[in-house]
Amino acid sequence: MEPFDLIEFQQRAKETTDPKKLFELWEDCCRRYERNEIGRYDWEEMRDVIWPNLQALASLRRMVNDEPAPVSRKKRKIS
């Protein structure tokens, strides 16, 4: 397994337009986080780069396929 370099991984995530590769990159980050190979900061930074790209690609795919957007499932705060 290659060493984790946050800047390199972020750059890879920004340049990737293949949803499958983005998911693989996300899974790699999650595995590293679960094994304590990276910290919460690195994990959150990667999440902040990967998820907007995945959402944009999914939105683009829906537009191309003329599909409706999914219903939003936002979490509600429980007080």
Domain ranges of the chain: 6-64
pLDDT of residue 50: 92
Range with the poorest average pLDDT among 6-15, 52-61, 70-79: 70-79
pLDDT in tens, 7-49: 999 999 999 888 889 889 999 999 999 999 999 999 999 999 9
Query: Is residue 25 within 8 Å of 60, Cβ to Cβ?
Result: no
Reduced 3-state DSSP string for the chain:
CCCCCHHHHHHHHHHCCCHHHHHHHHHHHHHHHHCCCCCHHHHHHHHHHHHHHHHHHHHHHHHHHCCCCCCCCCCCCCC
Q: How confident is the model at residue 79 (pLDDT cuts 50, 70, 90)?
A: very low
Q: Is the pLDDT of residue 78 over 60?
A: no
Q: Is the pLDDT of residue 73 over 70?
A: no
Query: Is residue 22 within 8 Å of 53, Cβ to Cβ?
Result: yes
